[in-house]
Amino acid sequence: MRPLSRQAPAPRSKSIAALHGGYLAIDSGADYTDTESPHYLNYYRRTVAHNSVLVYDPGEKFFWSSNLLPAANDGGQRMDSSRYWNTVRNLEDFRNTRDLWDLGSMRVVDFVPGQYHYALGDASNAYSREKLKTFTREIVYVPAQDLLFVFDRVVSTHPSFKKAWLLHGVNPPSVDQDRGQEKSKDFRQASTFCFRDGSGEVLVHSLLPRERGITRRGGPGADFYAPGDDHGGGWGSGENWPLEPPEGAPLPEDSKARHMWKTFWGEDFDRILGSNRKKRGARSLADRSIPFRSSRGRPISSCSEIGDRGKTGNRRTELVAGDNFVGAASEGGPFVLFGTSVLVPAPARCPCPT
């Protein structure tokens, strides 16, 4: 198993990925040969295509280049400057525009070979300050048991802003509440879900928030979905942004899509060229969506078992909560605790299960 924590100038700071016998947690979508396309603008380059956190403010604006095109509101990390579509030109340019590029940091990285890998990252600056105060992510990977613990703190500026925790895979996930209803989409208070690919699988135990919902999304017509539109609609007003055909195609008949292509490449652009993108595993996507209503920073926590197909789900995993700490206990070990605040040290007390 290889868990990855990524920090990049694209709006996907603190996204994670997992590989074990297959693609279990992926960056979904793909770019066009020369980058810009409707899919690239509204999905692939956005937070919604990656395994991070969304905070949805209906009034937030996203755009391409010098505000030449409005972009879909995915609820993700900010894209409010034409410079996001360029690179840093030199050291002086970086110093003058540092606030644009200072999107995330790794506060702590620690590991003991063969025992654990730990990281604490802060992506608060990656989001608009109008909607988010704090987003930190802690991960603990325990190689002996192939367990990955993720603990997020999300503090929004308004309790009505919907929050969602995302995980993408190449195949539809199973949910513990399926009970023969595999076409079901929304699951209230589901405890686990599982992605499988190749010879591997990841079983995710949803621990926090206590009140949660899991949404399974994907398949034809919903594989590259952004939850909001580009003119102030609410969560659910968005649409699917499919990949362009890799072999090329005439421009679409839809006037909005045609306008995008011609804005990207010029009025004489009349055919989508064949793409040189490599074949990827993103045949479909599935999102785990955990909405909760609070501006006080309720944490989101999960424990993932990663292993060979059919080998996970044989151990109990339970939430552990104490004064100023929450965490998880996995049957047979380990026992992992996270402080509920990383900003102000506080005394902690946690009753151990018997």
209-255 tens-digit pLDDT = 988 888 888 888 888 999 999 999 999 999 999 888 888 899 999 99
What pLDDT, on a 0 to 100 scale, did the predictor assign at position 338?
Answer: 94
Q: What H or E segment, with its residue span, contains residue 14?
A: none
What pLDDT, on a 0 to 100 scale, did the predictor assign at position 343?
Answer: 55
d(CA 64, CA 70): 6
Confidence of residue 280 (pLDDT cuts 50, 70, 90): very low
* Residue whose tokens read 């034809």: 220
For 108, residues 6+ apart whose C-beta sits below 8 A from its C-beta are 118, 119, 120
What pLDDT, on a 0 to 100 scale, did the predictor assign at position 241?
Answer: 93
According to DSSP H, which parts of the chain are helical? 38-39, 91-96, 98-101, 255-265
What pLDDT, on a 0 to 100 scale, did the predictor assign at position 181?
Answer: 61
- DSSP symbols for 129-149: TTTEEEEEEEEEEETTTTEEE
d(CA 174, CA 196): 9
Domains and CATH numbers, the chain: 2-339 (2.70.98.70)
Lowest mean pLDDT among 88-97, 220-229, 265-274: 88-97
pTM of the model: 0.87
Residue 72 phi, psi (nearest 5): -60, 145
Q: pLDDT tens digits for 168-225?
A: 998 888 999 886 566 668 888 889 999 999 999 999 999 999 888 888 888 888 889 9
Position 320 pLDDT exceeds 60:
yes
Lowest mean pLDDT among 126-135, 211-220, 292-301: 292-301
Half-sphere exposure of 118 (CA within 13 A, CB side): 10
Position 296 pLDDT exceeds 80:
no
Instruction: Report the share of the chain in percent with pLDDT over 70.
Output: 82
**181-192 burial: b if 16+ Cβ within 10 Å, else e:** eeeeeebeebeb
Closest listed residue to residue 200, CA positions, set 26, 22, 27: 22
For 50, residues 6+ apart whose C-beta sits below 8 A from its C-beta are 6, 12, 15, 27, 28, 166, 168
Residue 168 near residue 193 (C-beta atoms within 8 A): no
What pLDDT, on a 0 to 100 scale, did the predictor assign at position 212?
Answer: 87
- DSSP symbols for 142-187: ETTTTEEEEEEEEEESSTTSEEEE----SSPPEETT-TT-TT--EE
Per the DSSP assignment, residues forming a β-bridge with 201 are 196, 307
